[in-house]
């Protein structure tokens, strides 16, 4: 009898997933939304006009879906602006210069108006700074040139292994008297796009902050080779970025009220802000429109969730995480019970699985669903983080999950000018939305995180 | 003791696969080769100058690898030429025309010099022709407009379900007096690229052959909508293609002689010819350069295969399969024993697994290796075809296999102007080569197909 029920249950779930996938692949709306976000609005850096436009647009689109409630949640966000485009060159001797593509790292200070020109010292690790000491660093530009490890199949691991150069390089190099920092772009491919991303000065005073820029991977190879030929070359760069006062912004939220457990909340989301260089199609326009489509597909399918299903488009993931923190603190303040949160923030590529941050018991439950995703070629159900924006929701009991798309191409676009709509494939994007709504359905039906 | 051996064996295999993957991802040569094939040579239609150049280039590259033998295997191939670009428009009334993008199907006859202009009848299935009958078809252009099924996760299945319109549409429509055929491109995406591919007239006489062209998916939607508004519109198209006499060409072959069983042969290959519209980067430049790199990576790793490992770059897969047939017939004639053949002809995207055409016993052996590929995110080990070019090798005992890359994007490029190098990602291509050399290694080590 138990077997019968199990078999019957599986068949019902199989049918339901097929409904979701068919709807997503034939009537999905994520691609149209992404087209608008990318091509009509563009890069959505926190505090920018485009970020505002994206809030207005996505709120209006959610309003049109007939959800039970749509609202904006106010949050103050940092406002960093790039200013006029950056400029850099190598100078082998006076008058002999070669331009290289750079971009300021998010949060960096500007150079002096006339730029910075200095000798360069190349390092691989943050710890190299201590080995070299002030004597060899003082007055120079530190060039962090450790590539992402190409042998790692999960490119996010390769990113994790290299990104401290970008996030802490300037703060560390300043302590040894460096006058600027140039960081090899977090990109596995050799090309001409510099990749931005946030850098933090930690507790440095304003006077101690030194300008930091990313150089394209081809530029990094060129600079490194040139330094080997002549360690005395000079590097010049100029950037005009600025950290302004915080400004008001919003998380965009919509929900379908639960039929029997409306006070238990399941969140699905991505972040609405992006960097300013591209149009933020993969990072994270894709996650936003997939999350919006999850609620739309739920309604379209006729499935009535027991719990409240909430889409949250978080603001300011890239340079502050203020939206994620605000959402979690409001939830805490209002005594809301969140049982499950799913984020899509790894690009709009073919989904390969999910990662889960959960108890062992909940993970066992989840593994029971794995076979349901086999027909949809989702085979990776692993332990791991959910996503930056939903991180602040973490507490005993809640299950956090992240969509895991194929990661091979992601870092060729991440935070760069070529993170654009034409690099997102419609079907791949829709398969992500289908996988997400399927997981939300199972989590709701089988009370994931709810017993805690 | 058996367990010990198994565990030891697995560990050794794990190490060997790691060596192959690391080499492919750090010292792979497939991407450079593909760059040359795509950007220096271009589309390589059988009998074309570019096909000749590709033969010369790949032979020279194989010569440089220090293989035991490299040679050209002569084969006569059909030579079909597109001529001046095709041209088409819809005419709602005299003088009111809208151009639509078309391309002649491979093997099609030309239109008369002044083109063909006629009313259009839209159908979904070949069987619709019989239902409509001669009365409704005679003198018209038949428009086959059945889309590929977007709900199929394996897009090759969707292709199989739609391609009879292209391959047999003209032959069938001619029997009902049609004057031409327009086929919706085999493309899951809505865009402006017409996709060519071969069409066959079966046993029609020259006089019975009618011209056949593909229309872009956007063009097909436009034509269909227009027909609904006004069934009396006329469609005009003109194409100048021509079937010439067969010409001499070659399969390009190289091999590493087996150390202990040199008379048993393992083949790895792809097809060197392509269609003429793009540069054939995915179809099948990718498969060729991956196969070449399999032999190079074997040598680089120091692994000495027991059997002879042969790379074969087949000529004329697209419109004749003459290379695959010739290779198999020569093997038969020379009494060569082929035990295993692996083809890569499904694009240079992230590899997801392999399909196998084998006995149950061999498939059991193969499934033992599946876990070795888990760290490399290759989870799909299925039964299925190997590939068109290696198909003629099929006989009792031999195992045929095909690399199965992610298929979501493939048909957006297949046989179209946008099958170009920039749509191939270096890592994805290299992961395919790594998977292939790993499988070849295991097949050789564990005597796949050899007991038969």
- Give the closest residue to A408 by CA, choosing from B403, B189, B429: B429
Q: Mutate which of B14, B28, B149, B151 to test chain A, going by most A C-beta atoms within 10 A?
A: B151
- Residue A451 falls within a domain, yes or no? no
Tokens describing residue B152 = 């199929």
- The CA distance from A149 to B40, in Å, is 30
User: Shortest Cα distance from A150 to chain B (angstroms)?
Assistant: 6
Nearest CA in chain B to A422: B423
The model's confidence at residue B67, banded by pLDDT at 50, 70 and 90, is very high
Where a domain ends, among A239, A272, A303?
A239
By DSSP bridging, strand A242-256 and strand A399-405 are: unpaired
The confidence score (pLDDT) of residue A452 equals: 62
- The CA distance from B105 to B197, in Å, is 6
Q: Please state the three-class secondary structure of B224-268 as a single string.
A: HHHHHHCCCCEEEEECCCEEEEEEEEEEEEEEECCCCEEEEEEEE
Q: Look up the CATH number of the domain holding residue B90.
A: 3.50.30.30
Tokens describing residue A14 = 């199989």
* pLDDT tens, position by position, A314-357: 999 999 999 999 999 999 999 999 999 999 999 999 999 999 99
- Residue B451 falls within a domain, yes or no? no
pLDDT at residue A442 tops 60: yes
- The CA distance from B24 to B290, in Å, is 10
Is A425 in contact with B412 (Cβ distance < 8 A)? yes
Residues B252, B391, single domain; the answer is yes
User: Shortest Cα distance from A68 to chain B (angstroms)?
Assistant: 30
Is A425 in contact with B431 (Cβ distance < 8 A)? no
The helix/strand/coil state of B153 is coil
* pLDDT tens, position by position, A24-76: 999 999 999 999 999 999 999 999 999 999 999 999 999 999 999 999 999 99
Q: Let me know: does B414 contact B196? Beta carbons within 8 Å.
A: no
Where a domain ends, among A202, A218, A239?
A239
The set of residues, in sequence order, having a beta carbon less than 8 Å from that of A8 and lying 6+ positions away, is none
Residues of chain B neighbouring A432 (CB-CB closer than 8 A): none
- Residue A87 falls within a domain, yes or no? no
Residues of chain A neighbouring B156 (CB-CB closer than 8 A): none
Whether B409 contacts chain A with CB within 8 A:
yes
The helix/strand/coil state of A446 is coil
Residue in this structure with the two tokens 């097929």, named with its chain if needed: A18
- Residue A381 falls within a domain, yes or no? yes
Whether A408 contacts chain B with CB within 8 A:
yes
Average pLDDT, chain A: 96
The confidence score (pLDDT) of residue B161 equals: 98
The model's confidence at residue B378, banded by pLDDT at 50, 70 and 90, is very high
- The CA distance from A194 to A99, in Å, is 13
Residues of chain A neighbouring B425 (CB-CB closer than 8 A): 189, 408-409, 412
Q: Let me know: does B319 contact B245? Beta carbons within 8 Å.
A: no
Residues B97, B158, single domain; the answer is yes
ipTM: 0.95
- Residue B385 falls within a domain, yes or no? yes
Residues B193, B285, single domain; the answer is no
Q: Which of B188, B409, B425 sits opposite A408 (nearest CB)?
A: B425
User: Shortest Cα distance from A290 to chain B (angstroms)?
Assistant: 17
Nearest CA in chain A to B434: A151
Q: Which of B151, B350, B375 sits opposite A406 (nearest CB)?
A: B350
Q: Which residues pair with A74 in a beta bridge?
A: A250
Residue in this structure with the two tokens 């149009």, named with its chain if needed: A279
Residues A378, A312, single domain; the answer is yes
Output phi, psi for A28, to 5 deg.
-65, 150
pLDDT mean over B352-377: 97
Element (H, E) at B53: helix B49-63
The confidence score (pLDDT) of residue B9 equals: 52
Whether A406 contacts chain B with CB within 8 A:
yes
- Residue A188 falls within a domain, yes or no? yes
Query: How many residues belong to chain B?
Result: 452
* pLDDT tens, position by position, A136-174: 999 999 999 999 999 999 999 999 999 999 999 999 999
Does residue A83 come out as left (phi exceeding 0), alpha (psi in the -120 to 50 range) or beta?
Answer: left
Whether A25 contacts chain B with CB within 8 A:
yes
Q: Which of A153, A352, A412 sits opposite B376 (nearest CB)?
A: A153
The set of residues, in sequence order, having a beta carbon less than 8 Å from that of B314 and lying 6+ positions away, is B251, B269, B270, B271, B272, B273, B323, B324, B327, B389
pLDDT mean over A260-281: 98
pLDDT at residue B2 tops 60: no
Residue B94 burial by Cβ neighbours in a 10 Å radius (0-12, 13-18, 19+): exposed
The helix/strand/coil state of A330 is helix
- The CA distance from B103 to B111, in Å, is 12
The confidence score (pLDDT) of residue B344 equals: 98
Active centre residues of A (catalytic): 317
Residues of chain A neighbouring B431 (CB-CB closer than 8 A): 153, 408
Residues B67, B39, single domain; the answer is yes
Active centre residues of B (catalytic): 317
Q: Which of A150, A426, A431 sits opposite B189 (nearest CB)?
A: A426
- The CA distance from B103 to B106, in Å, is 9
- Residue A406 falls within a domain, yes or no? yes
Q: Mutate which of B15, B353, B406 to test chain A, going by most A C-beta atoms within 10 A?
A: B406
Residue A99 burial by Cβ neighbours in a 10 Å radius (0-12, 13-18, 19+): exposed
Q: Could you tell me the maximum CA-CA distance found in chain B, to the nearest angstrom?
A: 86
Q: Which residues numbered 143-162 in A keep a CB inside 8 Å of some CB on B? A: 150-151, 153, 155
* pLDDT tens, position by position, B83-99: 999 999 999 988 899 99
Percent of chain A with pLDDT over 90: 96
The confidence score (pLDDT) of residue A436 equals: 98
- Residue A92 falls within a domain, yes or no? no
Residues of chain A neighbouring B427 (CB-CB closer than 8 A): 150, 155, 188-189, 408-409
pLDDT mean over B167-183: 98
Whether B394 contacts chain A with CB within 8 A:
no
Residues A274, A420, single domain; the answer is yes
Residues of chain B neighbouring A151 (CB-CB closer than 8 A): 21-22, 25-26
By DSSP bridging, strand A351-357 and strand A399-405 are: antiparallel
Is B425 in contact with A412 (Cβ distance < 8 A)? yes
Q: Mutate which of B150, B187, B218, B414 to test chain A, going by most A C-beta atoms within 10 A?
A: B150
Residues A298, A349, single domain; the answer is yes
Q: Look up the CATH number of the domain holding residue A379.
A: 3.40.630.10
* pLDDT tens, position by position, B300-335: 999 999 999 999 999 999 999 999 999 999 999 999
Whether B383 contacts chain A with CB within 8 A:
no
Whether B374 contacts chain A with CB within 8 A:
no
Whether B15 contacts chain A with CB within 8 A:
no
- Give the closest residue to B357 by CA, choosing from B396, B330, B313: B396
Q: Helices in B302-358 by DSSP H: which ranges? A: 322-333
The single-letter DSSP state of residue A273 is: -
Q: What is the pTM of this model?
A: 0.96
pLDDT at residue A387 tops 80: yes
Q: Helices in A76-185 by DSSP H: which ranges? A: 127-137, 155-160, 164-174
Q: Mutate which of A31, A152, A153, A188 to test chain B, going by most B C-beta atoms within 10 A?
A: A153
Where a domain ends, among B224, B240, B256?
B240
Residue B79 burial by Cβ neighbours in a 10 Å radius (0-12, 13-18, 19+): buried
Percent of chain A with pLDDT over 70: 98
- The CA distance from B292 to A199, in Å, is 43
Whether omega before A284 lies within 30 degrees of 0, making that bond cis, reads: yes
pLDDT at residue B8 tops 60: no
Torsion of Cα atoms, B123 then B129 then B132 then B136, to 10°: 80
Q: Which of A22, A379, A426 sits opposite B151 (nearest CB)?
A: A22
Size of interface A-B (CB pairs under 8 A): 61
Residues A107, A76, single domain; the answer is no
Is B150 in contact with A26 (Cβ distance < 8 A)? yes
By DSSP bridging, strand A212-215 and strand A141-144 are: unpaired
pLDDT at residue B21 tops 60: yes
Is B352 in contact with A377 (Cβ distance < 8 A)? yes
Residues B72, B128, single domain; the answer is no
Residues A233, A259, single domain; the answer is no
Q: Let me know: does B80 contact B240? Beta carbons within 8 Å.
A: no
Residues of chain B neighbouring A426 (CB-CB closer than 8 A): 189
- Domain hosting A353: range is 11-80+245-445
The single-letter DSSP state of residue A422 is: G
pLDDT at residue B7 tops 60: no
Nearest CA in chain A to B409: A425
Q: Let me know: does B398 contact B359? Beta carbons within 8 Å.
A: no
pLDDT at residue B1 tops 70: no
Question: Considering its fold, how many domains does chain A have in total?
Answer: 2
- Give the closest residue to A297 by CA, choosing from A433, A104, A146: A433
Is B427 in contact with A408 (Cβ distance < 8 A)? yes
User: Shortest Cα distance from B425 to chain A (angstroms)?
Assistant: 7
Residues of chain B neighbouring A376 (CB-CB closer than 8 A): 153
- Give the closest residue to A31 by CA, choosing from A234, A307, A292: A292
Tokens describing residue B209 = 């052959």
Does residue A205 come out as left (phi exceeding 0), alpha (psi in the -120 to 50 range) or beta?
Answer: beta
Residues B74, B112, single domain; the answer is no
Residues B264, B208, single domain; the answer is no
The model's confidence at residue A10, banded by pLDDT at 50, 70 and 90, is low
Q: Which of B26, B151, B406 sits opposite A350 (nearest CB)?
A: B406
The packing angle between helices A2-27 and A426-445, to 10°, is: 150
The single-letter DSSP state of residue B189 is: S
């Amino acid at each position: 009898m138990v077997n019968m029920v199990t078999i019957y249950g599986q068949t019902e779930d199989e049918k339901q997933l097929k409904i979701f996938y068919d709807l997503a692949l034939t009537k999905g709306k994520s691609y149209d939304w992404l087209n608008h976000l990318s091509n009509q609005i563009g890069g959505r850096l926190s505090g920018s006009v485009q970020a505002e436009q994206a809030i207005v647009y996505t709120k209006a689109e959610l309003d049109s879906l007939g959800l039970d409630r749509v609202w904006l949640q106010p949050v103050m966000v940092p406002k960093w602006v790039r200013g006029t485009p950056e400029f850099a060159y190598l100078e082998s001797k006076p008058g002999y210069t070669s331009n290289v593509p750079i971009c300021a790292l998010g949060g960096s200070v500007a150079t002096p108006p006339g730029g910075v020109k200095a000798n360069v010292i190349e390092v691989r690790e943050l710890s190299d700074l201590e080995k070299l000491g002030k004597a060899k660093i003082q007055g120079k530009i530190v060039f962090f040139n450790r590539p992402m490890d190409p042998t790692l199949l999960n490119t996010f691991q390769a990113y994790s292994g290299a990104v401290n150069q970008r996030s802490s390089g300037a703060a560390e190099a300043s302590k040894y008297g460096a006058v600027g920092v140039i960081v090899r772009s977090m990109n596995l491919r050799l090309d001409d796009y510099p990749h931005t991303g946030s850098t933090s000065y930690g507790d440095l005073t304003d006077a101690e902050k030194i300008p930091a820029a990313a150089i394209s991977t081809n530029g990094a190879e060129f600079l490194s080779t040139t330094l080997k030929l002549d360690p005395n070359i000079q590097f010049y760069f100029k950037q005009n970025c600025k950290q302004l006062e915080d400004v008001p912004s919003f998380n965009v939220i919509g929900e379908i009220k639960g039929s029997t457990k409306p006070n238990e909340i399941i969140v699905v989301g991505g972040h609405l802000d992006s960097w300013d260089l591209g149009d933020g199609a993969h990072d994270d326009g894709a996650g936003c429109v997939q999350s919006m489509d999850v609620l739309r597909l739920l309604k379209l399918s006729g499935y009535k969730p027991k719990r409240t299903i909430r889409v949250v488009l978080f603001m300011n993931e890239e340079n502050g995480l203020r939206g994620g923190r605000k959402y979690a603190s409001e939830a805490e303040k209002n005594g809301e019970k969140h049982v499950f949160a799913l984020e899509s923030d790894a690009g709009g590529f073919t989904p390969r699985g999910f990662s889960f941050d959960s108890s062992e018991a909940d993970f066992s439950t989840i593994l029971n669903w794995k076979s349901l995703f086999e027909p949809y070629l989702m085979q990776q159900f692993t332990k791991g983080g959910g996503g930056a924006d939903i991180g602040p929701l973490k507490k005993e009991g809640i299950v956090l999950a992240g969509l895991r798309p194929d990661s091979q191409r992601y870092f060729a676009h991440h935070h760069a000018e070529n993170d654009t709509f034409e690099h997102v494939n419609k079907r791949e994007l829709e398969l992500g939305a289908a996988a997400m709504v399927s997981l939300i359905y199972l989590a709701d039906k089988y009370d994931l995180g709810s017993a805690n």
